Chains A and B, each alone.
Chain A
Amino acid sequence: AQKVTQAQTEISVVEKEDVTLDCVYETRDTTYYLFWYKQPPSGELVFLIRRNSFDEQNEISGRYSWNFQKSTSSFNFTITASQVVDSAVYFCALSDIYTGANSKLTFGKGITLSVRP
């Protein structure tokens, strides 16, 4: 069974601080995908990144960066120089590889990030 653990439930930082959101996953599959989504107060899920299990390279996109470590089954997300607009709930998710059927997503419980001015 697949499982995603986001141990942090709420994080509060002051604007311009860096913040790291942790994600640990469990799967028996050797091939899988990992995701991060942002859910602002409006409720709509915003896709941030998808990472294939074969690609362990870290990724940077503007103020966002992701650290994928297969050895520790972690896929952590760092926001550099946080801004008030980053305040949202962030979900890490895991999906098995396309098998010709459906690719189900398993979500973590989410981390509520509050960035104070």
Chain B
Amino acid sequence: GAVVSQHPSRVICKSGTSVKIECRSLDFQATTMFWYRQFPKQSLMLMATSNEGSKATYEQGVEKDKFLINHASLTLSTLTVTSAHPEDSSFYICSAELRGVGYNEQFFGPGTRLTVL
């Protein structure tokens, strides 16, 4: 159980286009999902916290108009990279939070590799 999927797994786009990445919790409901970005040979950096039915909370330095997050249902959050540029090329990973007694567990998706030409 507790499976999180991401779609697409890989995307290549031209500079200036917008790209949407989906994160789904397949067998549980997730009020909260997280979006991370990982540049080559670097760590995962939290970009934003996505809460169902409300606005996302962005980490310092992350442009909210550039990275649009929509958490419209308890099983789906989307990240849209608007007007993508080569510097946005990265590995984007989402996680979905499963609320438990005493601790909320994060389950990670397989990641989406974005290449902007």
On A, residues with C-beta under 8 Å from B are 33, 42-45, 47, 50, 91, 97-98, 102-105, 107-110, 112
Contacts and interface: CB of A to CB of B under 8 A. Distances in A.
B108 A103 contact: no
A43 B103 contact: no
A44 B46 contact: no
Contacts, number: 50
A110 to B, nearest CB: 5
Contacts of A103: 97, 103-104, 106
27 contacts: A33-B103, A42-B110, A43-B91, A44-B108, A44-B110, A45-B108, A47-B108, A98-B99, A98-B102, A98-B103, A98-B104, A102-B34, A102-B49, A103-B97, A103-B104, A103-B106, A104-B34, A104-B49, A105-B44, A105-B46, A107-B45, A108-B43, A109-B42, A109-B43, A110-B42, A110-B43, A112-B41
A35 to B, nearest CB: 9
Chain A at the B interface: mostly helix, strand, loop or mixed? Answer: loop
Interface of B: 32, 34, 41-46, 49, 91, 93, 95, 97, 99, 102-106, 108, 110-111, 113
B39 to A, nearest CB: 11
Contacts of A112: 41
A89 to B, nearest CB: 8
Given A44-B110, A44-B111, A45-B108, A91 B44 contact: yes
